[in-house]
Amino acid sequence: MATTAHTEQPAGHKEPFPPFNAQTFASQLFWLVITFVFLYVVMSRVALPRIGAIIDSRRQQIDRDLAEAQRLKAESDAAIASYEKALADARSRGQAIANEMREKQAAAAEARRKSLEAELNARLADAEKSIAATKAAAMANVSTIAKDTAAAIVERLIGSTPSPQAVETAVAEALRR
């Protein structure tokens, strides 16, 4: 029988994990140093400057945005202050207009009241004059009516007509009471 190359280890013997194999430490360390130096050069020459530029660009953009936000905040604060001042001015003007209108309405109402009062007083004076004239006329007629009535009653009671002077004296005495 021919011998064949046998690449497998005997069943009881296992090789250690390759990174922990003591025979390959030197070559592993050599390639680790070369790879680390290569990655360090690539990172420091290519990637880190790009990342630094991106970070600087973002920082500048953030600073610009913050400055713009501060400017806009200052503008909005100024606009709010202007609005509040305009609102306060409008309220004070509205209050002044309302007070002025209230005073005008009160003055107009007072003038109307006085004119109505004067008109009513004039009407009242006319009515009192009319009543006094009517009363005077009625009183003048009352005397005549009383004299005629008294004469008629006396004539009917006693059958003869009394003297006008006696009737007049009796009526005047009755009216005085």
Q: Where are the domains of the chain?
A: 39-176
Any residues with CB less than 8 A from the CB of 168 and at least 6 apart, and which? 147
Q: How confident is the model at residue 13 (pLDDT cuts 50, 70, 90)?
A: low
Write the single-letter amino acid at 143: S
Question: What is the pTM assigned to this prediction?
Answer: 0.41
Distance CA 121, CA 22 (A): 134
The enclosing H or E element of 114 equals: helix 48-158
DSSP state string for 56-94:
HHHHHHHHHHHHHHHHHHHHHHHHHHHHHHHHHHHHHHH
Q: Two tokens at 27?
A: 């070559």
Contacts of 150 (CB under 8 A, 6+ apart): 167, 170, 171
64-119 pLDDT, tens digit each? 999 999 999 999 999 999 999 999 999 999 999 999 999 999 999 999 999 999 99
Higher pLDDT, 149 or 38: 38
Q: Which amino acid is at 38?
A: F
For residues 104 and 98, give the distance between their C-alpha atoms in angstroms, rounded to a whole number.
Answer: 10
